[in-house]
Structure 1
Amino acid sequence: MSQHFSVRASATQQYQQGLKIAIEMVRQICSATEFNELIMGDKVVFVDFYATWCGPCKAISPFFAAMSEKFPGAEYIKVDVDEVPDVAEKAGIKAMPTFHAYKAGKKISELVGADPKKLEAMIAKHA
């Protein structure tokens, strides 16, 4: 029984370590300038517009981070709508979470809500 527990604990530790690495691959945006520079690049940029007080935002955040590992060819960024309200306003954010995909400065996709299946489908389509 202790060996079974050890294997389970090891698997849990590996999962947590992988999740930590994935979360570190998602960049927090602190200014409109930083946001604009990133979305103007050649790579597709997936954006998680969120608020710290938003329960569904907290729930889907680890999933968004995991997508950065599953589809590594794109950029993944987060925008706190309360910290960078000018970016959220310019992007037309009315509800959180909202996810956008940008390519060469143009929005190519949008998803409102915390639906993991729809989010993965959006990322898979554009990554």
Structure 2
Amino acid sequence: MATIDISAENFEKTITDNDIVLVDFWADWCGPCKRFAPVYDKSSDQHGDVTYAKVDTDAHPSLMNDFGIQAIPTLMAFREGVMVFNQAGALPGPALEQVIDAVKKLDMEEVHAQVAKLQAEHGDHDHADHQH
């Protein structure tokens, strides 16, 4: 499966409509981003059950701001709509495979329970201004 370009307009839909989504935040001027691109593309050919998305941070700075990204490339992994991995820096192929394997093996019942617990604990704070 090839990578897809996503934007602020279709980011949320991409995350919620697919079980596992990897998102590569990159820019054309970024050397490490260019070195990571073929590793990411090759991995996308090996995992048809994972959606590989790319966000051009120059074209979509609002997404970079929404997620507090301060360095690129940054790789995020979402499973069942929950961010389960977030790391800046270009990963070598074997490390990317480890991330994918770990995401696939997650006990999502436990993850959703932890998210619900955190939301309950922090329910007194207003998070309406966050667009995640």
Aligned residues: 103
Question: Which residue of structure 1 lines up, in the alignment, with residue 15 of structure 2?
Answer: 39
Matched, 1:103 2:84: no
Question: Which residue of structure 2 lines up, in the alignment, with residue 9 of structure 1?
Answer: none
Please report how far the alpha carbon of residue 119 of structure 1 lies from its aligned counterpart in structure 2 after TM superposition: 2.1
Percentage of identical aligned residues? 36
Matched, 1:83 2:59: yes
Looking at structure 1, the residues matched to 81 and 12 of structure 2 have their Cα atoms a distance apart, in angstroms, of 8
> Which runs of 5 or more residues in structure 2 are unaligned?
105-132
Looking at structure 2, the residues matched to 78 and 40 of structure 1 have their Cα atoms a distance apart, in angstroms, of 16
Matched, 1:94 2:70: yes
Matched, 1:122 2:99: yes
Give yes or no for contact 1:111–1:119 (8 Å, CA) kept in 2.
Answer: no
**What's the Cα RMSD here?**
1.4
| Higher radius of gyration, 1 or 2 | 1
Please report how far the alpha carbon of residue 105 of structure 1 lies from its aligned counterpart in structure 2 after TM superposition: 2.4
State the secondary structure of the residue aligned to 1:62: helix
Looking at structure 2, the residues matched to 41 and 56 of structure 1 have their Cα atoms a distance apart, in angstroms, of 29
TM-score by structure 1 length? 0.75
Question: Which residue of structure 1 lines up, in the alignment, with residue 89 of structure 2?
Answer: 113
TM-score by structure 2 length? 0.72
Give yes or no for contact 2:19–2:81 (8 Å, CA) kept in 1.
Answer: no
